[in-house]
Amino acid sequence: MRLLLIEDDPKLNHSLKYQLEKENFTVDSCTDGEEALFYINQNIHDVILLDRMLPFLDGTELLTLMRRKNNCTPVILITALGTLNDKITGLDLGADDYLVKPFEFDELLARIRCVTRRSPLIQGDDSLSLGDLILHIGESRLTGPLSSCSLSKKENELFQSFFRNPGQTLTREQLLARVWGMDTDIENGNLDNYIHFLRRRLHAVGSTVTLRTVRGIGYSMQTIPPISPDSSSTVNGKKS
């Protein structure tokens, strides 16, 4: 799971990032509102941990911009502003949860689990389903109608991206940033190779799910097989 941590206190930012990565989260972090907006616009994160008071753009402004753009990524506001009115304002602006500093790290983990359970975009940490497929995340294993197969770490992460966005076209930039990181210098050909590997996995487990190339943009995972252009209905064995 990829998290975006937006916290302007360098020591707290570093500490939280370190602890979250120890829990096997992939974490992008930043310390001001303008940099945070750039990350948010990539729309590649599963949960956003958002400090309310930030340089340049504060947390409430970022949250308002997100929701206006129909970005539904779960957001946990993390702030020292803990009055009832502060909490109501944050939740009314679109936050999914509100955590007041100082807090215990275990409580933050519990709140992350809570918002991911509620999110329609995230279907749990252990497994995801799409069409006739089940992706066992912790085991890095894909199960289809005929069999199961093991996955590499990158294959697992790519499948997670597609399973959590069924039918949507994911750009090459989104996939590279989500799986290899925002600052990756990996070449596009490497992504193409992994897409080829994913298609082989789908075939190996006997799935009808397809991974479609959207020319010039990226890729989309479809649960309904494409209809052949020369196919048509038949009546008594004859084409109508």
- CATH fold group of domain 2-118: Rossmann fold (3.40.50)
Q: Pick the residue with more confidence: 185 or 146? A: 146
Residue 214 and residue 222 in contact, taking contact as beta carbons nearer than 8 Å? no
In this prediction, residue 234 carries a pLDDT of 46
pLDDT confidence bin for 225, thresholds 50/70/90: low
**Rounded average pLDDT over 165-183:** 87
Cα dihedral 27, 30, 35, 36 sign: positive
> Chain-centre distance of CA 167, in angstroms?
14
Has residue 233 got a pLDDT over 50?
no
In this prediction, residue 235 carries a pLDDT of 46
Residue ranges per structural domain of the chain: 2-118, 127-222
The CATH class of 127-222 is: mainly alpha
Cα separation of the two ends of the chain: 49
Has residue 61 got a pLDDT over 50?
yes
pLDDT tens figures, 63-110: 999 999 888 899 999 988 888 888 899 899 999 999 999 999 999 999
Has residue 228 got a pLDDT over 70?
no
Tell me the β-bridge partners of 230: none
Residue 155 and residue 135 in contact, taking contact as beta carbons nearer than 8 Å? no
**Rounded average pLDDT over 167-189:** 83
